[in-house]
Amino acid sequence: MRRFDLQRIALGLAAPVLALIVALLLSSIALQISGNPPLHAFKSMLDYGTDSGTIVQTLNKSTTYYLSALAVAIGFRMNLFNIGVDGQYQIAAFAAAVVGGWLITPGPITMIIVVLVAIVVGAFWAGIAAVLKATRGVSEVISTIMLNVIGGGIVAYLLDPKRLGTIIGSQQVSTRPMKADAYLPGIPLPGGDVYGFVVVAALAGLGYWVLLGRTRFGFDLRATGLSETAAVASGVQVKRMVVRTMLLSGAVAGLVGMPLLLGGSHAYASDFPTGYGFSGIAIALLGRNHPIGIAIGALLWSFLEQSAQILDLEGVPKEIVTIMQGVTVLSVVVAYELVRRFSLVQEQRRVGAELRAAAAAGEGSPA
């Protein structure tokens, strides 16, 4: 049995490693064709990426990505595709920033209220898709994508000097900045400060692990994802699970904008980054919905993005990294599928061999 477990771990690692190799190979080909020596490009990425300043940026960005991927993974565990994390975190961060700008409470209380607002608004925005699915049978894939655009539009509408926005600096529209005592202090490293919110992200990962792996709710959730009919037979109310899971996913999605809002920008300006929700989908796939796998995936993802910043100076299109990311995701899902099939065949062989042995033993023994 022990040997078998070792094999399982090896197989589990084989898939991402295989995928990374494929991604490196394909992007090397693309670089070579475009007339850039791949080894040189990779080396400068590695040099720049391991610079202490870049490491801090990588850590900061992966904190954000980690939360986004967790939100997606909660849905994935139940075969729910929350493609709408992008819209959920934007509208949540915006609402939180507006509230944060109004509040005159002491810093820590402001921070707690801001985070709570983000959670509630994120859950609410996901809840629309959940209700549409549970009551009207609308696919959450389509509805969350539509809600992304709608959410972005609403934020753009409200973020206007005539409404909730103010003009700061050079024509930049922003929400009213939060008071300085509500800035979440960072963790100092040689290259700069890491967002203090990284602690919350880690706790969220722990919470995810406990909730899904150690509670009745998590069991029901996973059971529904694996086999809806079996879950129904064991008394799970699927529609209710859909709503709850989606709300939970949206609540975590609400946190995605918090590291930046509390630790960096302290306001929601028109240049608040978008697209983290889509990175979250890819990272959740890379990390196989496992809290530690997701952490590794998030680090890898943001490492690729940060270290690619140097490529433009070297005259290499840094868009190569997006290809690398896309290929990695695609090949990682293929690799996981191959590994799954391989283990299935192994399992069948093992069981077959044991059955044959048992049968032979039965025949061999005197009746």
Partner 1 sequence: MTALAPAATDAPATRARPRVRAPWVLIAVAAVLVLVSIVRLITDANDITSSGTAGAALRLAVPIGMAGLGGLWAERAGVVNIGLEGQLILGTWFGAWGAYEFGAWWGVLAGIAGGALGGLVHAIATVTFGVDHIVSGVALNILGGGVTRFLSALIFTDTPGGGVTQSPSLPRIATVTAPGSGALRTLEEKHWFVVSDIAGLLGGVITQVSLLTIVAVVLVPVSYFLLWRTKFGLRLRACGEAPGAAESLGVNVYKMKYLAVIISGGFAGLGGAFLSEVATNIYREGQTNGRGYIGLAAMIFGNWRPGGLAVGSAIFGYTDALQLRSGGESMHALLLLLAIVLALLGAWSLWRRRRLQGIASLVVAAGALVWYLGSDTVPDEFVGFAPHITTLLVLALAAQRLRPPAADGKPYRRGEAG
Alpha carbons 160 and 207: distance in angstroms, whole number:
37
- For residue 141, give Cα distances in angstroms to 79, 144, 264, 274: 11, 6, 32, 19
For partner 1, the binding residue among 149, 344, 355, 357 (CB under 8 A) is 149
Long-range CB pairs of 20-26 (<8 Å, 24+ gap) are 20/328, 22/327, 22/328, 22/331, 22/335, 23/324, 23/325, 23/327, 23/328, 23/331, 24/324, 26/323, 26/324, 26/327
**Per CB under 8 A, 305 contacts partner 1:** no
Matching residue, tokens 């293929």: 334
CB of 141 to partner 1, least distance (A): 6
Decide if residue 138 touches partner 1 (CB under 8 A): yes
Among 56, 59, 83, 115, binds partner 1 (CB under 8 A): 83
- 68 near partner 1, judged by CB under 8 A: no
Q: Which stretch binds partner 1 (CB under 8 A): 106-114, 128-136, 184-192, 349-357?
A: 128-136
Query: Could you tell me the end-to-end alpha-carbon distance of the chain, in angstroms, rounded to an integer?
Result: 31
CB of 72 to partner 1, least distance (A): 10
Structure tokens at 89: 């975190």
Tokens of 334: 């293929």
- 81 in contact with partner 1 (CB under 8 A): yes
79 touches partner 1 by CB under 8 A: yes
Write the interaction track for partner 1 spanning residues 19-48; mark x where CB under 8 A is met and - where it is not: -----------x---x--------------
Query: What does the binding site for partner 1 look like in residue numbers (CB under 8 A)?
Result: 30, 34, 79-81, 83, 132-133, 136-143, 145-150, 152-154, 156-157, 228, 278, 281-282, 285, 317, 319-327, 329-330, 333-334, 337-338, 341
